[in-house]
A and B are shown apart, each in its own frame.
Chain A
Amino acid sequence: MTVVPFDKSTAIAEILATAPGIPTVFTTGFASRVAASLDDRPNHFYMTGSMGLALALGTGVAMASQQPTIVVDGDGSLLMNPATLLAVGTAPDLPLVHIVLDDGLYASTGGQPTPGRHAHLAGLATASGYQSVCEANNPSALRARLTTALDVPSAVFIHCPVQPDATPPRRRVTPDLPGVAMRFSQYVRGAAA
C-alpha cells in the first residue's frame, strides 16, 4: 500500500470533505489558495492579506452567529498573532473549531522556517483557556477529530503536524474581495436563518 504524505493540501481536502457546509475561514497564503483551487464554495472566506487575523475573524463569526465555524490556520499565522488565542479561550461556549496546519514553514513567502519548532502550539491554546485541545497527524484522524469537534459547544483546537506541499497551489484567490465577503456573508446569514 502506498503511503500518501499528510501534507497541507491533503489536510485541507479532508476538511472540505468532512465539513462541506460549515462556514470556514482560511488563513493567508497557501491555505486560502489551496482551498479555492480544490473547491471554491460560498461557505469559504479567504483571508488574502492580514496574516494572523483569520482566527479573530472566525471568532467574530462564531460569536455572532452561534453556529459552528471553522478556522483553518497555519503555524506562521498563529505565531504572528498568538494573542487571538486569548479571545477564543476566554469566550464561553464559542462554537469554533480552530485547526492549525503546522508545516513549520512560511510556505507562501518562500518556505522560510517559522519559530514554531521551539513552541508548543497546543500548549499555548491550553494556557489561553481552550477547554479542548487535540492532535491529528493523518487524514482519518483529522476527519474523526473534526467530526467530534463540530458537536462540541465550545472552542476546540486541532493541531495538525503536516508536511509541506511538494508543489505550490496553482492560482491566487480572486481579486474580487468584496465578492468573497458578500458571498460568505450571504451564506452565513442564510445558514443562521
Chain B
Amino acid sequence: MSDTTAATAVFDALVGHDMGPYFATPCGVLAPLLAQLQERADYHVVAREDNAVGMAAGVALTGGTATVLMQNSGFGQSVNALASLVVPYRIPMLLIISMRGTPPDPTPENLAMGRLTEPILDGLGIEHHYLSAGRANDQIRDARRTVVEKRHSHALLVRPDEFDWEA
C-alpha cells in the first residue's frame, strides 16, 4: 500500500468505529494519518503528550471514547499520566504510538525509547499490538471492544515505515 492508501485504511477504520475525539501530538511517522484526521472537527492538536492523555481521560469520564496519537518519545513523556491516572483509576482510551528507534529507524536519539516502549506498556498492564494497515478495520474494532466493553486502555504500535516514512 502507498502511504496515502495505508493511512486512509487506518483513518477509515478509526472513523468507522467512532474512536474520536482525537488528541494528536507531532509525529512524522503518523503524518499521513494526521493529515486526514486534522480535517475533522473532533481533532485536537495538543502541545504535550501527557496533556493529550489527560484530556482523553476527561472525555472518557463523560462516557465517550477517545484516541491519543503520539510518537513513542512522547509516550515517554506520558508514562506518569498513564501510571498514576489512566491505569489506577481505570480510565480507558486508545493509544496509537509510532515506534521511532525500531527498524528501519536508526536515529540514535530514539533507540532507547524504541527498546523501552513495549516493556513499559507491559509494566503498565496495557495490551498492545502492532497496527497493520491491511487489517486496521479488524484491529480497531477489537480495540474498541477492549476500550468500551472491558474498559481497559489499548495501544496500537505503528512501525516507522507503516506509512512509508523514511529516516
Please tell me the size bucket of the interface on B.
Answer: 20 to 34
A86 contacts B by Cβ under 8 Å: yes
B58, A57: Cβ atoms under 8 Å? yes
A53, B51: Cβ atoms under 8 Å? yes
B31 to chain A, nearest CB (A): 21
B85, A47: Cβ atoms under 8 Å? yes
Given contacts A178-B89, A188-B61, contact A60 B84 (CB under 8 A): no
Question: Main SS of the interface on chain B?
Answer: helix
| Chain A residues near B54 (CB-CB < 8 A) | 50, 53, 55-57, 59-60, 84
**Nearest-CB residue, chain A, relative to B65:** A64
A49, B51: Cβ atoms under 8 Å? no
Chain B positions 3-62 with a Cβ under 8 Å from a chain A Cβ: 21, 44, 46-48, 50-62
**Nearest-CB residue, chain B, relative to A59:** B55
The answer for the CA separation of A58 and B66 in the assembled complex, in Å, is 15
A27 to chain B, nearest CB (A): 12
Given contacts A65-B62, A181-B91, contact A48 B84 (CB under 8 A): yes
Instruction: Return the contact of B66 from the options A60, A84, A180 (Cβ within 8 A).
Output: A60
The answer for the CA separation of A60 and B58 in the assembled complex, in Å, is 4
A100 contacts B by Cβ under 8 Å: no
B45 to chain A, nearest CB (A): 8
B115 contacts A by Cβ under 8 Å: no
A189 contacts B by Cβ under 8 Å: yes
B126 contacts A by Cβ under 8 Å: no
A119 contacts B by Cβ under 8 Å: no
B64 contacts A by Cβ under 8 Å: yes
B123 contacts A by Cβ under 8 Å: no
Given contacts A49-B80, A50-B85, A53-B81, contact A83 B61 (CB under 8 A): no
Q: Mark A170-187, 1 if CB is under 8 A from B, else 0.
A: 000000011011101100
The answer for the CA separation of A188 and B63 in the assembled complex, in Å, is 9
| Chain A residues near B129 (CB-CB < 8 A) | none
**Nearest-CB residue, chain A, relative to B57:** A57
A81 contacts B by Cβ under 8 Å: yes
**10 closest Cβ pairs, A-B complex:** A60-B58, A56-B54, A49-B84, A60-B55, A61-B58, A181-B89, A64-B62, A64-B59, A53-B54, A50-B85
What are 30 of the A-B contact pairs (CB < 8 Å)? A47-B85, A49-B84, A49-B85, A50-B54, A50-B81, A50-B84, A53-B51, A56-B51, A56-B53, A57-B85, A60-B55, A60-B56, A60-B57, A60-B62, A60-B66, A61-B59, A63-B21, A64-B58, A64-B59, A64-B64, A65-B62, A81-B48, A81-B51, A83-B47, A83-B51, A87-B55, A178-B89, A180-B89, A181-B90, A185-B63
Residues of chain A having any CB pair with chain B under 8 Å = 45, 47-50, 52-53, 55-65, 81, 83-84, 86-87, 91, 177-178, 180-182, 184-185, 188-189, 192
